């Protein structure tokens, strides 16, 4: 097929291209040469500007923003870091209590990561390596779970945790998060285990290692890059999550996560926008830092499924 | 003989280890995802409210009342249409923007790695923070968009991007402009184009150079090469992206809830489900709407896959 195309396209090359064709070619090239940097600049601006604005506003005094909303710069003498102390201080001290929100978010996110890896790493190993009853069906189920709409789960989980009187606890939220990410996690890790040659494990087996020993001493160390990128991926999902935090923790201010706290306080008129911008920066910075540290690993993980399609 | 017995005993052992290793995940996913979905179906056919929650069990009075009430209720059909417009608009614009970005960054240049990483920020940033910055930027009183619009672009008055539906009447014909809906679609495009960009970039890098070089030698212009060489290779990826993005946008709750709260003609079904559940405490009706949403989505995706699958076969 490709051979045929090559020979076919080779024929016209002997005749020189018509004048009109070359002119169109030249025009298109020139237009694209000008257009490309403009397009790139526009995309960069669109992607970065909101974050720049977020940081800018978090340092500007509120009165100054209201007086001069169009300004894109803050002079060093006007920098007001008071918004950060205000947003972090506890409610009793007249602040917004973000410090405790950060603690809650971190507890839930780190807990979700540890707990998910604890169940998903052995699970992914089993799905990748071991032939057991129902293996294919379980993999299919886990992939399907990835596409189950969260809003469909919202109603029953809300009702269930209300009924056992656990709604409002961070543990309930953690369990729900683990259930939703474990399936994806297994899918991603399995793809990685599949790339590790079985021969290494066979060698260990011949040396008398049991399955679990082989898994611990051979496969796990080799899968470490995938496990770490998976951990970061789970952390991001749990840290950013909003719907279930809203459903579960709304009435329990002491348990609010950063996302929930920010969304609740932005609805009230009493809290100044600049203070909340400081809150947004606090919510966003950990994710952006993690992202730039792990970008190479993460993007590899995100597109791992794409190569199949 | 003994060798084969050894192997089969190892296989049996593997089967047991496999089940043991997978069962914790299976139990969690089963109790926290599969059972709840089945329970949604049960709840949707019962008259359950937050107030009488304690007295309802698995065996209750089943009826289709919730569904008839939901289908007849004010605004449900509107919400469905809004959901559909939002998903189609959001998916299409995200993929088109992602494609343009991937094409623009195809040729290597200094700093390309940084640009690529930077373009992914809208996708990885927390939705609550992103939505808050957007609402601030678009605020009619002190938002930057309106400050510049009225100051530099000569708008007569600030536009309430997130809370208005406007009308435009050129030549005496009144065209309704769903400003708020267009704004939430733009937000969705901004937040999810990086996803399309990432997938399309990965696919583009796998296209062999030889084809395009041959095209170039034959005098094919850049747009011709894109149309006849690059695009056909990207179509399967675009098809997968369409399904993924459509599913996620169709069920999206966070973005619209945070930006408009469902006001000004942006109430999608998922926001409605939330309002029925929390504000009205009507669990039965909320479950019924979530179920209708899921069924419609399943039908749409199946139809799409059937149609697209057949095209693939024919090609």
Q: Which three-class secondary structure state does DSSP give residue A200?
A: helix
Rg for chain B (alpha carbons), in Å? 25
Q: Do A54 and B28 touch (CB under 8 A)?
A: no
Angle at B200 between CA B117 and CA B133, to 5 degrees: 45
- Estimate to the nearest angstrom the gap between the alpha carbon of B216 and the chain centroid: 38
A132-186 pLDDT, tens digit per residue, is 888 888 888 887 887 778 888 989 999 889 888 888 899 999 999 999 899 889 9
How sure is the predictor about B231, in pLDDT bands with cuts at 50, 70 and 90?
very high
Separation between Cα atoms, residue A138 and residue A135, nearest integer Å: 5
> Are B203 and A306 within 8 A, CB to CB?
yes
Q: Do B128 and A259 touch (CB under 8 A)?
A: yes
For A160, other C-beta atoms within 10 Å of its C-beta total 18
Q: Which three-class secondary structure state does DSSP give residue A2?
A: helix
Query: B178 CA to chain A: closest CA distance, Å?
Result: 23
Nearest CA in chain B to A42: B101
> Does residue A15 surpass a pLDDT of 60?
no
- pLDDT at site A81: 81
Separation between Cα atoms, residue B261 and residue A61, nearest integer Å: 28
> Does residue A211 surpass a pLDDT of 50?
yes
- pLDDT at site B72: 81
Burial of A238 (0-12, 13-18, 19+ CB in 10 A): buried
Residues 218-237 of A with CB under 8 A from B: 236
> Does residue B43 surpass a pLDDT of 90?
no
> Does residue B86 surpass a pLDDT of 90?
yes
Residues of chain B with C-beta less than 8 angstroms from the C-beta of A240: 125-128
Query: B152 CA to chain A: closest CA distance, Å?
Result: 10
How sure is the predictor about A11, in pLDDT bands with cuts at 50, 70 and 90?
very low
> Are B203 and B177 within 8 A, CB to CB?
no
Query: B169 CA to chain A: closest CA distance, Å?
Result: 30
Which residue stretches of chain A are H helix? Answer: 2-13, 19-59, 62-67, 82-88, 98-129, 135-147, 150-163, 170-195, 198-206, 211-214, 220-240, 243-249, 258-265, 273-303
- pLDDT at site A297: 64
Dump the DSSP string for B37-101: HHHHHHHHTS--BSTTGGG--SS----SHHHHHHHHSTTHHHHHHHHHHHHHHHHHHHHHHHHHH
> Are A112 and A177 within 8 A, CB to CB?
yes
Q: Compute the average pLDDT of residues A105-120.
A: 96
- What percent of chain A stands above pLDDT 70? 88
Q: Do A149 and B290 touch (CB under 8 A)?
A: yes
* Nearest CB to B273; choose among A24, A154, A259: A154
- pLDDT at site B184: 95
The least confident of A10-19, A149-158, A284-293, B36-45 is A10-19
How sure is the predictor about B2, in pLDDT bands with cuts at 50, 70 and 90?
low
Phi, psi values for residue B167, rounded to 5°: -130, 145
Rg for chain A (alpha carbons), in Å? 27
- pLDDT at site A12: 46
**Of B191, B184, B192, nearest in space to B82 by CA:** B184
Query: Which residues fall within 8 angstroms of residue A147, CB to CB, at 6 or more apart?
Result: B247
Nearest CA in chain A to B43: A156
Among A212-216, B99-103, B221-225, the range with the most confident prediction by mean pLDDT is B99-103
Among A145-149, A199-203, A231-235, B143-147, the range with the most confident prediction by mean pLDDT is A231-235
**Of B258, A150, B272, nearest in space to A158 by CA:** A150
Phi, psi values for residue B49, rounded to 5°: -125, 160
End-to-end CA distance of chain A: 22
> Are A188 and A237 within 8 A, CB to CB?
no
- pLDDT at site B5: 64
Scan for tokens 């014909």, then name that residue.
Answer: B173
B153-209 pLDDT, tens digit per residue, is 777 788 888 877 766 666 666 667 788 999 999 999 999 999 999 999 999 988 888
A71 in contact with chain B, both atoms CB, cutoff 8 A = no
- What percent of chain B stands above pLDDT 90? 39
> Does residue B255 surpass a pLDDT of 90?
yes
Strand partners, B167: B176
> Does residue A1 surpass a pLDDT of 50?
no
- pLDDT at site B16: 87
Q: Compute the average pLDDT of residues B77-86.
A: 93
Residues of chain A with C-beta less than 8 angstroms from the C-beta of B129: 54, 259, 262, 280-281, 283-284
> Are B238 and B201 within 8 A, CB to CB?
no
Separation between Cα atoms, residue A108 and residue B105, nearest integer Å: 37
The least confident of B29-33, B139-143, B288-292 is B139-143
Q: Which three-class secondary structure state does DSSP give residue B166?
A: strand
Global pTM reads 0.87
Q: Compute the average pLDDT of residues A284-295.
A: 86
Mutate which: A19, A31, A155, A166, vs B, most B CBs within 10 A: A155
- pLDDT at site A9: 44
* Nearest CB to B144; choose among A29, A53, A157: A53
Residues of chain A with C-beta less than 8 angstroms from the C-beta of B131: 263
Q: Compute the average pLDDT of residues B220-226.
A: 88
- pLDDT at site A305: 42
What tokens does A134 get?
Answer: 């129902």
Angle at A224 between CA A218 and CA A225, to 5 degrees: 135
Angle at A263 between CA A259 and CA A266, to 5 degrees: 135
The least confident of A47-51, B4-8, B237-241 is B4-8
Residues of chain A with C-beta less than 8 angstroms from the C-beta of B221: 21, 24-25, 28-29
How sure is the predictor about B148, in pLDDT bands with cuts at 50, 70 and 90?
confident
- pLDDT at site B74: 82
Helix (H) / strand (E) element for B141: namely none
How would you write A228-269 as a 3-class SS string? HHHHHHHHHHHHHCCHHHHHHHCCCHHHCCHHHHHHHHCCCC
B301-311 pLDDT, tens digit per residue, is 888 888 876 66
How sure is the predictor about A36, in pLDDT bands with cuts at 50, 70 and 90?
very high
- What percent of chain A stands above pLDDT 90? 34
> Does residue B290 surpass a pLDDT of 60?
yes
> Are B267 and B255 within 8 A, CB to CB?
no
Angle at B40 between CA B36 and CA B44, to 5 degrees: 165
Residues of chain B with C-beta less than 8 angstroms from the C-beta of A138: 22, 26
Burial of A81 (0-12, 13-18, 19+ CB in 10 A): exposed
Q: Do B104 and A157 touch (CB under 8 A)?
A: no
Q: Compute the average pLDDT of residues B214-226.
A: 87
Q: Do B22 and A126 touch (CB under 8 A)?
A: yes
Whole-number average pLDDT of chain A: 83
- pLDDT at site B88: 96
Q: Do A125 and B237 touch (CB under 8 A)?
A: no
Residues of chain A with C-beta less than 8 angstroms from the C-beta of B22: 122-123, 126-127, 132, 138
Residues 12-51 of A with CB under 8 A from B: 12-13, 17, 21-22, 24-25, 28-29, 32, 36, 39-40, 43-44, 46-48, 50-51
Task: Respond yes or no on whether ipTM tops 0.85.
Answer: yes
Among A61-75, A93-107, A110-124, B296-310, the range with the most confident prediction by mean pLDDT is A110-124
Residues 73-112 of A with CB under 8 A from B: none
* Nearest CB to A266; choose among B132, B206, B287: B132
Scan for tokens 């678009």, then name that residue.
Answer: B138
Query: Which residues fall within 8 angstroms of residue A214, CB to CB, at 6 or more apart?
Result: A201, A204, A205
Q: Which three-class secondary structure state does DSSP give residue A31?
A: helix
Q: Do A70 and B148 touch (CB under 8 A)?
A: yes
Q: Which three-class secondary structure state does DSSP give residue B168?
A: strand
Separation between Cα atoms, residue B298 and residue A148, nearest integer Å: 10
Separation between Cα atoms, residue A305 and residue B240, nearest integer Å: 11
Number of Cβ pairs < 8 A linking chain A and chain B: 293
Mutate which: B6, B15, B25, vs A, most A CBs within 10 A: B25
Residues of chain A with C-beta less than 8 angstroms from the C-beta of B117: 291-292, 295
> Does residue B312 surpass a pLDDT of 60?
no
What tokens does A208 get?
Answer: 């008398």
Report the greatest alpha carbon distance in chain A: 84
Query: B68 CA to chain A: closest CA distance, Å?
Result: 19
> Are A169 and A238 within 8 A, CB to CB?
no
Q: What is the dihedral of CA B299, B34, A301, B20, to 10 degrees?
A: -140
> Does residue A279 surpass a pLDDT of 70?
yes
Nearest CA in chain B to A179: B29
- pLDDT at site B168: 63
Q: Do B126 and A287 touch (CB under 8 A)?
A: yes
Query: Which has the higher per-residue pLDDT, A10 or A122?
Result: A122
Whole-number average pLDDT of chain B: 86
Query: A192 CA to chain B: closest CA distance, Å?
Result: 17
- The answer to whether the Cα torsion of A264, A234, A43, B253 is positive or negative is negative
**Of A168, A174, A162, nearest in space to A238 by CA:** A174
Mutate which: A47, A87, A109, A129, vs B, most B CBs within 10 A: A47
Nearest CA in chain A to B260: A267
- pLDDT at site A35: 92
């Amino acid at each position: 097929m490709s051979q045929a195309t090559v020979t076919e396209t080779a024929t016209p090359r002997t005749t020189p291209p018509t004048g009109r064709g070359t002119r169109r070619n030249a025009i298109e090239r020139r237009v694209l040469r000008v257009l490309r940097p403009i397009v790139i600049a526009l995309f960069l601006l669109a992607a970065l500007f909101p974050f720049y604005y977020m940081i800018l506003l978090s340092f500007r005094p509120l009165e100054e923003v209201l007086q001069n909303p169009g300004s894109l710069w803050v002079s060093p003498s006007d920098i007001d870091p008071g918004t950060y102390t205000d947003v972090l201080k506890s409610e009793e001290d007249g602040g917004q209590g973000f410090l405790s929100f950060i603690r809650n978010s971190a507890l839930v996110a780190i807990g979700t990561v540890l707990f998910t890896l604890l169940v998903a790493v052995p699970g992914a190993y089993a799905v990748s390596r071991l032939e057991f009853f129902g293996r294919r069906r379980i993999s299919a189920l886990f992939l399907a779970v990835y596409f189950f709409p969260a809003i469909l789960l919202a109603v029953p989980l809300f009702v269930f945790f209300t009924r056992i009187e656990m709604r409002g606890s961070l543990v309930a939220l953690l369990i729900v998060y683990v259930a939703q990410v474990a399936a994806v996690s297994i899918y991603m890790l399995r793809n990685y285990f599949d790339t590790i040659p079985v021969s290494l494990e066979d060698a260990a087996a011949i040396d008398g290692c049991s399955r679990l020993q082989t898994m611990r001493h051979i496969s796990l160390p080799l899968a470490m890059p995938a496990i770490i990128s998976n951990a970061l991926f789970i952390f991001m999902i749990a840290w950013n999550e909003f719907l279930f935090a809203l459903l579960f923790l709304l009435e329990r201010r002491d348990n609010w996560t950063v996302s929930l706290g920010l969304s609740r306080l932005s609805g009230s008129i009493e809290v100044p926008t600049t203070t909340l911008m400081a809150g947004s920066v606090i919510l966003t910075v950990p994710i952006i830092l993690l992202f730039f540290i792990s970008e190479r690993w993460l993007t590899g993980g995100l597109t791992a499924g794409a190569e199949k399609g | 003989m003994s060798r084969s017995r050894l192997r089969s005993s190892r296989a049996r052992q593997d089967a047991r280890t496999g089940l043991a290793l997978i069962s914790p995940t299976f139990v969690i996913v089963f109790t926290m995802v599969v059972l709840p979905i089945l329970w949604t179906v049960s709840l949707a056919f019962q008259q359950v409210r937050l107030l009488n929650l304690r007295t309802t069990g698995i065996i209750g009075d089943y009826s289709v009342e919730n569904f008839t009430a939901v289908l007849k209720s004010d605004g449900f059909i509107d919400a469905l249409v809004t959901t559909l417009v939002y998903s189609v608009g959001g998916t299409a614009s995200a993929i088109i923007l992602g494609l343009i970005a991937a094409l623009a960054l195809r040729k290597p240049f200094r700093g390309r790695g940084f640009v690529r990483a930077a373009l992914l920020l809208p996708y990885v940033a927390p939705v609550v923070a992103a939505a808050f910055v957007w609402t601030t930027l678009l605020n009619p009183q002190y938002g930057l968009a309106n400050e510049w619009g009225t100051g530099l672009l000569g708008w007569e008055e600030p536009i309430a991007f997130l809370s208005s539906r406007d009308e435009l009447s050129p030549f005496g014909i009144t065209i309704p402009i769903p400003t708020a809906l267009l704004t939430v679609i733009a937000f969705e495009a901004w937040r999810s184009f990086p996803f399309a960009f990432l997938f399309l970039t990965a696919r583009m890098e796998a296209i062999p150079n030889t084809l395009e070089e041959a095209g170039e030698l034959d005098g094919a212009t850049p747009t011709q090469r894109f149309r006849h060489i690059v695009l056909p290779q990207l179509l399967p990826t675009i098809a997968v992206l369409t399904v993924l993005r459509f599913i996620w946008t169709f069920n999206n709750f966070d973005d619209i809830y945070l930006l408009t709260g469902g006001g000004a003609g942006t109430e999608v079904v998922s926001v409605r489900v939330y309002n029925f559940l929390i504000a009205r405490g009507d669990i039965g009706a909320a479950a019924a709407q979530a179920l209708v949403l899921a069924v419609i989505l399943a039908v749409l995706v199946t139809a799409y896959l059937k149609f697209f699958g057949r095209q693939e076969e024919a090609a």
